[in-house]
Amino acid sequence: MKTSRKNSCGLWDVKRLVWRQVGLVLFAAARSVVFSASEAQGQNGVWTTVAPMPEANAGLTAAEIGGKLYVAGSFLADHSAGVHAYVYDPVSNMWSGITDAPSPYVAYAAGAAVGGRFYVIGGCQSEPSTGPDCGIGSTNAVEVYDPSTNAWSSGPAMPTARNNATARVINGKIYVAGGGLPCGNNVTNVLEVFDRTAGTWVEKSPEPTARQDATGAVINGKFYVAGGWDGSTHTPYDKLEIYDPGTDTWTEGAPLPIPTFGLTGMGAAANGLFYVVGGVQGNALVNTVYAYDPSADKWTNVAPIPLADGVYIRGVAAVNGVIYVAGGYSAGGPIASVEAFYSSLQAVLEYVLSLAGNLVSSRVLNQRQGRSLAVKLQEAIGHLNGGNNHAAAGEIQAFLNEVNSLVDAGILTSAQAATLTGPAQVALAGFSPNRGTGS
């Protein structure tokens, strides 16, 4: 089914239905703690809370470009769709505003990055006068942000106007699967592919399951799509469907442990696994996180996201192997909190090691200072792999002490030090006193 660029169809109540079902209450306050550790640590992953977004947002889309997280397209606290867009720099742990998106009142768009540009595709159009969500209708607009010029431009319109679709990049092309059609009462299984070099859209084999609010990831050149629901029947799905662009065919993988929807933007690939974060199960928001291993065709529960009330429809993307989860709905409204997921304690330490290297590259630290910090982190990783957690903790503590001494000497600012000490302290907290051996 093909639809026009914009369709006026009255109030769209899919998300309001979800809010009524889960009996949500107002969110108390946006999290302001920078780098706090999740209670769930270790081999099942490690969560940290990083700097919050400048404003509460939900229904936004996200993508990684040049080691930074870009987000755009969202609903604000009054349920109107916003125009503000932001970029997060993990090195400085800071958010900055970028040029506002040109199409106002668009949220629940699909997002992807290719060729150094951020593509925001389709979505819902709404404003306070028409009510929440798709009060104006769905769009097939494609807006393109170029970080080098801090400017937006319009790309070729997607053939099918839709919202809550799933978009990912394979070999420089953007694949957009499924989504909700205008009014939110119908779903589609269409798969359309954008070739930015040719500037054209091509329709490919449709998904076996028509759905919206699913999420996806690309691993080894294949497009994985999981969860979602049929908005017309309110039927949630546990299905995992896998698209192979080489054969233009879909196959089925192991289903999610529990049917889950509200997953728009809630998945990412890291370290060869497909992570699905939060969503709605039955009548409740959840903070569950699943990891799918394609080689074993198996889902595993990993550390839950540290939001006790659960969360859905957030901006999610992997940056240098770390999965960042921004904004979203929790406890009745949009939130500003941002969490980062590391697949293991070693991944945390490797991330800190890369941050220290960045400080050397930018000449904040000299080679000797950088090498001294790196040796302690490398020793900690070695002890961790050898099962000597006590010794690993000692190396991390020595690293923290040295960073503090660099602050005292005026070499590092407190903000620069915090980017190193925050995740390092998370790693330190992950070592239980009774794990591993002493030294």
DSSP assignment string, 78-129 = TSPEE--EEEEETTTTEEEEEPPPSSSSEES-EEEEETTEEEEEEEEE-BGG
The mean pLDDT of the chain is 84
Beta carbons of 82 and 57 less than 8 angstroms apart: yes
Mean pLDDT on 421-430: 85
What residue type is 317 in one-letter code? A
Q: Are residues 201 and 281 in the same domain?
A: yes
Q: Is residue 23, in this structure, part of any structural domain at all? A: no
Q: Are residues 39 and 74 in the same domain?
A: yes
| C-alpha torsion 110→113→114→120, nearest 10 | 40
Looking at the predicted structure, is the pLDDT value of residue 131 above 70? no
Beta carbons of 250 and 178 less than 8 angstroms apart: no
When mean pLDDT is compared across 13-17, 99-103, 140-144, the lowest value belongs to 13-17
Q: Is residue 10, in this structure, part of any structural domain at all? A: no
- The residue out of 342, 376, 401 marking a domain boundary is 342
What residue type is 114 in one-letter code? V
Q: Quote the longest CA-to-CA distance of the chain.
A: 69
Structural domain boundaries enclosing 401: 345-429
Q: Are residues 166 and 56 in the same domain?
A: yes
Of 50, 64, 40, which is closest to residue 117 (Cα–Cα)? 64
Which band of pLDDT confidence, cut at 50, 70 and 90, is reported for residue 144? very high
In terms of DSSP H, where are the helices of 363-413? 367-385, 389-408
Q: Are residues 45 and 148 in the same domain?
A: yes
Number of domains in the chain: 2
* Pairwise CA distance, residues 277 & 38, whole Å: 15
For 256, the 3-state DSSP assignment is: coil
Q: Are residues 156 and 180 in the same domain?
A: yes
Q: Are residues 164 and 109 in the same domain?
A: yes
Looking at the predicted structure, is the pLDDT value of residue 168 above 60? yes
* Pairwise CA distance, residues 63 & 174, whole Å: 12
Q: What is the pLDDT of residue 236?
A: 94
Contacts of 149 (CB under 8 A, 6+ apart): none
- Residue with the two structure tokens 């999420």: 215
Highest mean pLDDT among 22-26, 306-310, 434-438: 306-310
Looking at the predicted structure, is the pLDDT value of residue 255 above 80? yes
Q: What is the pTM of this model?
A: 0.85
Report strand pairing: 46-50 vs 36-37: antiparallel
When mean pLDDT is compared across 18-32, 75-89, 215-229, 271-285, the lowest value belongs to 18-32
Q: Are residues 325 and 379 in the same domain?
A: no
Looking at the predicted structure, is the pLDDT value of residue 104 above 70? no
Q: Are residues 106 and 150 in the same domain?
A: yes
Q: What is the pLDDT of residue 433?
A: 43
* Pairwise CA distance, residues 64 & 118, whole Å: 8
Tokens at residue 264, please? 């728009």
Which band of pLDDT confidence, cut at 50, 70 and 90, is reported for residue 428? confident
Q: Are residues 76 and 142 in the same domain?
A: yes
Which band of pLDDT confidence, cut at 50, 70 and 90, is reported for residue 119? very high
Which band of pLDDT confidence, cut at 50, 70 and 90, is reported for residue 92? confident
Q: Is residue 9, in this structure, part of any structural domain at all? A: no
Mean pLDDT on 395-399: 96
When mean pLDDT is compared across 19-33, 341-355, 373-387, the lowest value belongs to 19-33
Q: Are residues 331 and 352 in the same domain?
A: no
- The residue out of 288, 313, 342 marking a domain boundary is 342
Q: Is residue 438, in this structure, part of any structural domain at all? A: no
- Residue with the two structure tokens 């925001």: 120
Q: What is the pLDDT of residue 108?
A: 86
Of 78, 1, 70, which is closest to residue 324 (Cα–Cα)? 70
Of 296, 287, 220, which is closest to residue 254 (Cα–Cα)? 296
Q: Is residue 28, in this structure, part of any structural domain at all? A: no
Count Cβ atoms below 10 Å from residue 89 Cβ, excluding itself. Answer: 16
Q: What is the pLDDT of residues 170-211, one digit of tens each?
A: 999 999 999 998 754 689 999 999 999 999 999 999 999 999
Q: How many residues does the chain have?
A: 439
CATH number, residue 122: 2.120.10.80
Q: What percent of the chain has pLDDT over 70?
A: 82
Looking at the predicted structure, is the pLDDT value of residue 21 above 90? no
Q: What is the pLDDT of residue 434?
A: 39
Mean pLDDT on 91-103: 87
Which band of pLDDT confidence, cut at 50, 70 and 90, is reported for residue 438? very low
Question: For the CA atoms of the chain, what is the radius of gyration?
Answer: 22
